[in-house]
Structure 1
Amino acid sequence: MNRAAAAIFLALLCSGCPKRIDFGPQGHITQAEELFRLVSAAQDRVATLQGDGKIRVESPQGSGTVSAWLSASRPGLLRVEMFDFFNRPIAVLVTDGQRFGLFQAQENKFYQGPATPRNLSRFLPVALPSEELVSVMLGKVPFIPADRMTLSLDEKERMYVLTLHRGAVSQVLHVHPKHLRVVRSEVRGLQAYGLEYDHFKEQGELVFPHDVTLRAPTADMSLGLRYTGITLNESPDLTLFDLSAPEDVPVVEVDEGGQSLPPVALPPASPGS
């Protein structure tokens, strides 16, 4: 065999060999409980986020992408501003975890009331508590309360597969072997949304996903966030979460189910006032 043929043979042979999995400084983890502890610690390191992004929605009713400015802080502080193609404001959502305020530019109305999942879904097409929504945006996967765990290694996908079990319900977590961050989460045996995280980037000592996708299979809908320029773990500006209505904008008070409440009648003016 001449040198050229030998080189080609070796190249083909190597291309068919599986690449070694980079397990990072922790090495290959074989215990499910240990991996769960490390994954939980890794995703708990991010507490605040602020910056620009894109929000994309895909559903049977339509699909589209808008620009956004976001500020989120655990446990439930959230501000999201949406803009159209010409950078004109579309809507602004603010919540402190207990109450919410939503300015709809097209209607020129300001909705306010309890920060229930139903009310927050006026702005984003997902019905989640504010604390859970903030967690998802910060790359933190909500876990089911497991009574046992199992661990395997998917060598084809080059991922850990950590499964949490709770009776007939299970949560399958695909975990990056080096960064120990959840790449995909799927709950089985229960109607629940799935999560996908992608485009992990190092920011200082943190590794953070810049693509977040939430999928609701029963509704054939997905909500995606792509962060384009963000900072992490900076002290939040609490004035951003002020729930006051803009000046000269009609206020609509809604109940927990999103139904408009009648305006509060003002007491009659006293004589001579």
Structure 2
Amino acid sequence: MNRAAVAIFLALVCSGCPKRLDFGPRGRITQAEELFRLTREAQDVTATLQGDGKLRIESPQGTGTVSVFLAASRPGLLRVEMFDFFNRPIAVLVTDGQRFGLLQFQENKFYQGPATPQNLSRFLPLALPSEELVSVMLGRVPFIPTERMTLGVDEKEALYVLTLVRGDVSQVLHIHPRHLRVVRSEVQGVRAYSLEYGRFEPQGDAVFPHQVTLRAASADTSLGLRYTDVTLNGAPDLTLFDLSAPEGVPVVEVDEGGQALPPVALPPAAPGS
């Protein structure tokens, strides 16, 4: 058998072999509650983020990839700037968790109003609260309220499998056995989105995922974010979250449902003014 044939044979054999389970210095965790606590602590280490990346959007409205600059700070401060292939600005979204401002360069309009999921979906084709968007971009998985939980191990993928249950709703978490970060999250029993995290790299005292994929099957939509340069847990630059409209750009005030409100009439000028 020549070398090429041997290599192919070994590749086929190894592809069916389970991955090696590396539980790290802590050893194997056998209690679901302990794994949940440690996983939550591991992902809660990251509080702020600033950096560049690539965002791929797939939805019924279209598919494409854009460059992005992001700044996020828990619980709800977020700034996302989008640029096209030629590095021309497309849009800028800013929210403090309560209100939002969206600058659309092509329309030359600045939308502002309550930071509801409907209003944020003007920028991204998914209706999510700002706190959840911030969590996802910080590598954090939102957990469902839990009545009970079970723990298992996926020997083939070499991952813990932690299942959270509340009534008819469950959340299945695939967790890396060494650094205890969620690799995949799927919610069942209710319309929700799934999350996948990858490219975990050491970043200071933490391990941070440089790639995240959010999929909403009910909306046939997915977002894939890949960080190319990112800084974690720095002091947030609060000027990045300024909600003021740019000078000279028409402002459109919208309500909670995203409907434009009529312009506010200015009071008449006083006589002799």
TM over 0.5: yes
Deviations 1:208-239 (A, max 9, x none): 00111110011111011110000000000001
Quote how far apart the aligned CAs of 1:241 are. 0.4
Answer yes or no: is 1:243 the counterpart of 2:250.
Answer: no
| Distance change >3 Å, CA 174–CA 19, structure 1 → 2 | closer
Structure 2 matches for 1:110-149, cutoff 5 A? 110-149=110-149
Matching residue of 2:225: 225
Partner Cα separation in structure 1 for residue 266 and residue 53 of structure 2: 43
Q: Give the AA of the match of 2:156.
A: K
Q: Give the AA of the match of 2:123.
A: F
Deviations 1:138-159 (A, max 9, x none): 0110101110000000000110
Matching residue of 2:71: 71
| Distance change >3 Å, CA 127–CA 17, structure 1 → 2 | closer
Q: Give the AA of the match of 2:168.
A: A
Partner Cα separation in structure 1 for residue 191 and residue 18 of structure 2: 36
Deviations 1:80-125 (A, max 9, x none): 0000111110000000111000000000000000000000000011
Q: Give the AA of the match of 2:170.
A: S
Q: Give the AA of the match of 1:130.
A: S
Partner Cα separation in structure 2 for residue 150 and residue 234 of structure 1: 36
Quote how far apart the aligned CAs of 1:17 are. 6.2
Q: Give the AA of the match of 2:105.
A: A
Partner Cα separation in structure 1 for residue 131 and residue 221 of structure 2: 21
Partner Cα separation in structure 1 for residue 198 and residue 230 of structure 2: 15
Contact 2:59 2:125 in 1 (8 A): no
| Distance change >3 Å, CA 116–CA 19, structure 1 → 2 | closer
Matching residue of 1:32: 32
Deviations 1:181-231 (A, max 9, x none): 000000011111111101111112110001111100111110111100000
**What are structure 1's unaligned runs of at least 5 residues?**
1-7
Structure 2 matches for 1:1-273, cutoff 5 A? 18-273=18-273
TM-score (norm 2): 0.93
Q: Give the AA of the match of 2:140.
A: K
Contact 2:146 2:166 in 1 (8 A): yes
Q: Give the AA of the match of 1:177.
A: P
Quote how far apart the aligned CAs of 1:20 are. 3.1
Partner Cα separation in structure 1 for residue 223 and residue 166 of structure 2: 27
Partner Cα separation in structure 2 for residue 206 and residue 63 of structure 1: 33
Over aligned residues, Cα RMSD in angstroms? 1.5
Quote how far apart the aligned CAs of 1:60 are. 2.5
Q: Give the AA of the match of 2:54.
A: K
Which is higher, the Rg of structure 1 or of structure 2? Answer: 1
Runs of 4+ displaced beyond 2 Å: 14-20
Q: Give the AA of the match of 1:66.
A: V
**What are structure 2's unaligned runs of at least 5 residues?**
1-6
Matching residue of 2:3: none
Contact 2:148 2:165 in 1 (8 A): yes
Partner Cα separation in structure 2 for residue 62 and residue 17 of structure 1: 39
> Identity, % of aligned pairs?
79
Contact 2:252 2:260 in 1 (8 A): yes
Aligned length: 263
Q: Give the AA of the match of 2:110.
A: F
Partner Cα separation in structure 2 for residue 80 and residue 134 of structure 1: 11
Partner Cα separation in structure 1 for residue 97 and residue 135 of structure 2: 12
Task: For residue 25 of structure 1, give the secondary structure of its aligned residue in structure 2.
Answer: coil
